[in-house]
Amino acid sequence: MDKPNEIVTPPKVKTMTFSDILFLCFMVFVVFAVAFVGRLAYLEGMKTEGSKQNGEAMAAWFTQASADRFNDNFNPTECAAGLLPALPAISPMASATEMSATAPAPASDAASADSATTGASAESPKNASASTTAAQETKGSEASAQNVARTWGDCLRYLTSEKGPWSKMTNPFNGEALSFIDKCDPTNHEIPGFIVLESINPTPPGSAVASYANALASTDAIDKKMLLRVTICDKGSYPIPIADIEF
């Protein structure tokens, strides 16, 4: 066997250069940056999910109340269907008559009461006619007082009050109480987590669209069956439809 004339020595191992250290530091920074961004995305996603849960809870309450709110014993009464009796109107003439009847007579008039008895007896038919007219006007004003429908504003005030079922709901994005707006606007970055409640109204037969939606106003009557749409605004203020339910 031939022996090699030259002895091959392995190359020397070089230590890390400054570029290697810089590259490793950059990779560590990238790993931490990805983890941080991922956590932020997770937290923002959980806030959006929390807003969805608020909308789903509202939709569930509307669905449950829809079956019972036409009953006489429905609670809360602020959200019941049907008409709410209005306060009867009081005639100004009737009020003046009551005030004059309850007011005490002056002392000077008491001294001449006996002398005026004869004159009062003579004018009694006239006073009786005036009293009858005032009574008829009061009765007519009470009869003309119509029943009024309950409004969404009264119902919403109860639902978000301390005793209401929505009192413990908060906006996950800002931790404040729920806020209701007309629509989600991507150009407005201050409304993530806000709630949009709309009433869906059918269009006349033959229309190009079957229905249209309007924001539920505080003055809208809730005496009849309604079709509502619940929508929440996500992080970018874009609308996320939750459900269409009857109320």
Structure token pair of residue 174: 């800002």
Sign, CA torsion 51/53/55/57: negative
Q: Please answer whether residues 67 and 81 qualify as being in contact, where contact means their C-beta atoms are separated by less than 8 angstroms.
A: no
Q: What is the distance between the alpha carbons of residues 126 and 120, in angstroms, rounded to a whole number?
A: 10
pLDDT at res. 150 = 87
Q: Identify the H or E element spanning 38.
A: helix 18-68
Instruction: Give pLDDT, residue 135.
Output: 47
d(CA 107, CA 12): 130
Tokens of 158: 């109860």
The Cα angle at residue 220 between residues 219 and 226, in degrees rounded to 5: 160
pLDDT of residue 128: 44
Would you give per-residue pLDDT tens digits along the chain (247 residues)?
556 666 666 666 567 788 888 988 999 999 999 999 998 888 888 999 999 999 999 999 999 998 888 888 888 888 988 776 655 555 555 555 555 555 554 444 444 444 444 444 444 444 444 454 444 544 444 434 457 888 999 999 999 999 899 989 999 999 999 999 999 999 999 999 999 999 998 888 888 888 888 899 999 999 889 999 999 999 999 999 999 999 9
pLDDT of residue 92: 53
CA angle 53, 59, 237 (to 5 degrees): 55
Asked if residues 198 and 229 have their Cβ atoms less than 8 Å apart, the reply is yes
Phi, psi dihedral angles at 243 (to 5 degrees) = -165, 155
Can you give the pLDDT at residue 110?
Answer: 43
> Rounded to 5, what percent of the chain is helix, strand, coil?
45, 15, 40
Check: CB of residue 152 under 8 Å from CB of residue 199.
Answer: no
Rounded CA gap, 193 and 177, in Å? 10
